[in-house]
Every structure is written in C-alpha cells, then in structure tokens.
Amino acid sequence: MSSSSKTPYLMTGPGVLFFAALLGVPMLLTFLLSLHAYDFNTGVVPGWTLTNYVDVLGDSYFHKIFGRTFGLALLVTVICALIGAPEAYILSRLSNPWRSIFLLVVLGPLLISVVVRTLGWALFFGGKGVLTMVAQGLGFTDAPVSLMFTFTGMTIALVHVLVPFMVISVWASLQKIDPQSEDAALTLGASKFTVLRRITLPQAMPGILSGSIIVFALTASAFATPAIIGGRRMKVVATAAYDEYLSTLNWPLGATIAVLLLFANIVIIVSYNKLVERRFSKVFE
C-alpha cells in the first residue's frame, strides 16, 4: 500500500479515536449496564438479563412518560415549523441591514446557555412571575397563574429554545429557490398568495422537514428544560433516566430507559428520513 492511500485513514484517525473513546465506549457501557439486574441491598447483580427491558416495556408508568415525551416532541416540532417557516420566509424577504439584524435576533438565543434561558422562563412562568403580574394587572384573574410544572410551560420553553434550528434549516432551503420561478408563476397568472402556497412553500419543504428532524430529536432527548420547567411532576424520558440514576440509584434501569430512548429516536428519525428522501429524491438535488 502506498503512503498516499493511507493518508485519509491517518488524517481521520484521531477524530475516530476521539469519538470512539468519548462517545462509543460510554454508549457501549450504558448498553451493557442495562443488561444487568439491580438489587436494592446489593446493587448491580452480575449476570445477563433482559428483566429491565421487560419491566420498562410492561409498566404503564413508563408508557406514560414515553408517550408524554414523544407527544411533546411532536407538538414542539409542529409549533416550531408553524413559527419558524414563516419567520425564515420573512427574513429572506427583508433587505439589509434589517435582514442581518433580525437574523441575529433569531439566532441570538443560541448564544445563551439553555439552562440560563430556561431559568428565565421559570421566573416568567412562576406563581409570582411576570405572567401572573400581567394576568392580574389586566384583571383576568386574582389567583396566581403558573405554567411551572405543566406540559404547556415545557412546550413554550422548548419551542423558544429550538425554533432557531428550524429557522436556519428553512432559511437554507429558501436560499436555494430560484427567485425567477416565483416571477414565472406570477406572470402565468398566479396571485401572490398562490405563488407562496404552490411555488415557494413546496420548494421550502425539504428545509421544513429536515428542521423537523432536528427539532424532534432535540426535544425527545431534551433534559435541561423539562427538568427545570417540568420537574418531577412532568417527567419526560430523559429526566426519568436521570432520576433512576441519581435518586433511586438503579443504574441498570436508568441505562435501560436511556437505551430505549435512543433506539426509539433512531427508529423514528431514520424512517422519517427514508420517507422524505423517497418523496423528494426525484425533485431536489
């Protein structure tokens, strides 16, 4: 083998080792851990078993948590698409300097830690927070209004965290649209709204769909926001796994939940991606 054909391997080698050591090994260990039983007196029991999987898959408590997680992911994805796609479209129609300014405003939140942003929402949502003050000030209610530990609160906070990913993704596909195709539709007699619906939106669809994958995956595995806003009352899969590890100290069960989350996420995203590709491979590059 000549030295030049080794070059690619040598160059990617460090990166591969890095990921293998820091991502692959922990994941493998987590998977192996999930195959052990746990005893409250003696800890992790040696010997392989699938009891953890049987437990989680057969327990209505976990069904509810998984259901809530993917319901939340679906809802957040839909809302992000409904907000992010028009937002990206309007951004693409602005002229500079407004475009740059608003793009910064949209992407700005990404510069702040998720935890800090979520704590901000917690202040806003809390019983003595801004939301309560506004609601009481406007005379809607006398009682405190709290969205803390609610599904609605989690949804709002997650949408805020994740909508920039949708905007970036839709923005990228809007950039690829030939503006003359909109002119062409216009000259063929289409109204401006018809152009938007029949010409622009379908061409932005790949961006909306790939943005949806990102938002869905990030929501399904989100930890910080559900932990702070949802707390123990509104557990999602990620916080449930965390609690098994750190509260109950049942590491194998926590590992099982984590592995199942990863598996479900992969299955959903891969099949969705297949669907999208089959639909669009003929149409777009």
Q: Which residues of this chain interact with another protein, rule CB under 8 A? A: 178, 180-181, 183-191, 194, 198-199, 202-203, 205, 282-285
Question: 216 and 268 in contact (C-beta within 8 Å)?
Answer: yes
For another protein, give the closer residue by CB, 137 or 189: 189
Max CA-CA distance within the chain?
Answer: 80
Question: 146 and 126 in contact (C-beta within 8 Å)?
Answer: yes
> Which region holds residue 209: left if phi is over 0, alpha if psi is between -120 and 50, else beta?
alpha
In this structure, what token pair is assigned to residue 19?
């990921």
C-alpha–C-alpha distance, residues 212 and 43, integer Å: 41
Q: Write down the least CB distance from residue 192 to another protein, Å.
A: 8
For another protein, give the closer residue by CB, 200 or 225: 200
28, burial (CB in 10 Å: exposed 0-12, middle 13-18, buried 19+): exposed
For another protein, give the closer residue by CB, 200 or 250: 200
For another protein, give the closer residue by CB, 74 or 190: 190
Q: Write down the least CB distance from residue 258 to another protein, Å.
A: 40
Concatenate the DSSP letters of all residues of 198-252 into one string: IIIHHHHHHHHHHHHHHHHHHHHT--HHIIIIITTTT--HHHHHHHHHHTS--HH
Q: Write down the least CB distance from residue 209 to another protein, Å.
A: 13
For another protein, give the closer residue by CB, 142 or 285: 285
For another protein, give the closer residue by CB, 15 or 179: 179
Q: Write down the least CB distance from residue 168 to another protein, Å.
A: 22
SS3 97: coil
In this structure, what token pair is assigned to residue 62?
């976990």
For another protein, give the closer residue by CB, 89 or 245: 89
Q: Write down the least CB distance from residue 193 to another protein, Å.
A: 11
C-alpha–C-alpha distance, residues 260 and 57, integer Å: 9
For another protein, give the closer residue by CB, 6 or 176: 176
Q: Write down the least CB distance from residue 95 to another protein, Å.
A: 13
Q: Write down the least CB distance from residue 283 to another protein, Å.
A: 5
Unique residue bearing structure tokens 């949408």: 159
C-alpha–C-alpha distance, residues 99 and 112, integer Å: 21
In this structure, what token pair is assigned to residue 232?
């123990």
C-alpha–C-alpha distance, residues 169 and 165, integer Å: 6
Q: Write down the least CB distance from residue 212 to another protein, Å.
A: 18
Count of other CB atoms within 10 angstroms of residue 156 = 19
